[in-house]
Amino acid sequence: MSRASEVRIIGLPGMPEVQPGDDVGALIVHCCALSDVTLEPGDIVVITHKVISKSEGRLVDLRDITPSPFAAQFAERYAKDPRQVEVVLRESARIVRMDRGLIIAETPHGLICANAGVDASNVPGDDMVCLLPIDPDASADRARQSLQSALGFDLPVIITDSFGRPWRDGITNIAIGVSGLRPLADYRGHEDDYGRTMQASLLAIGDELAAASELVMGKVSRAPVAIIRGYPYTAGTGSARELQMSPQRDMFR
């Protein structure tokens, strides 16, 4: 008889307002102690990018921004803040679509998302916006090293952000930074239950774990860290960039 599988997801509450220069790994360990949560070997630590971005000082005071005429024109047409539109344009490597008050942009990381990841939610102050980390994979690696130093064992880290999806309403978490696990599971060439050779089964494990974490994080519950326990991940030097489709395979580019 095969054994039933189980994955547990634990939301970690009590994270204080993160300040530039804070050690995210040390904060997580401290919150675990306050919440009576014990990190165990085999766990996966999932962190929202806002925590990372704040610790890295990736905040912009809109009072210091002078919008370009183009940003001002777009903002006036759709009742947007021209300063925030200007920041979005500055953070964009390529504008994919700009219509109906929405900006879909490709970031320097290669991510394609709304407003180039520029976001004012869960950021203190009326004139502050948060940017994506400069190198989310490197950020994940630093958090992982900090956790390992504090705990004495290695835990993989995933950094997430909430993205919309073409043809689907609602947003879901995806992995924008990964350290310590392989973000893809490749079943191509394996046989399915009926002996057929699978040709296209490449599973986005990093994104699936990121999406699952949102179920216990929430947008307003102040639990920006989740611990995934029981998932048999494949350890390795993975990168979230592996989850991005190459321009050569992108049929909608």
Q: What does the domain layout of the chain look like in residue ranges?
A: 8-58+133-243, 60-129
So what CATH class is 8-58+133-243?
Answer: alpha beta
Is the Cα dihedral 183, 112, 102, 127 positive or negative? positive
H/E element, 96: strand 94-99
How far is CA 43 from each of CA 170, 203, 226, rounded to the nearest angstrom?
Answer: 28, 20, 10
CB 206 within 8 A of CB 238: yes
Q: Which CATH superfamily is domain 60-129 in?
A: CofE-like domain (3.90.1660.10)
User: What is the residue-level pLDDT of the chain in tens, covering all 253 positions?
Assistant: 556 689 999 999 889 999 999 999 999 999 999 988 999 999 999 999 999 999 999 999 999 999 999 999 999 999 999 999 999 999 999 999 999 999 999 999 999 999 999 999 889 888 999 999 999 999 999 999 999 999 999 999 999 999 998 889 999 999 999 999 999 987 766 666 777 776 667 899 999 999 999 999 876 567 899 999 999 999 999 899 999 988 888 887 7
CB 83 within 8 A of CB 95: no
pTM of this prediction?
Answer: 0.93
Which residues fall within 8 angstroms of residue 221, CB to CB, at 6 or more apart?
11, 13
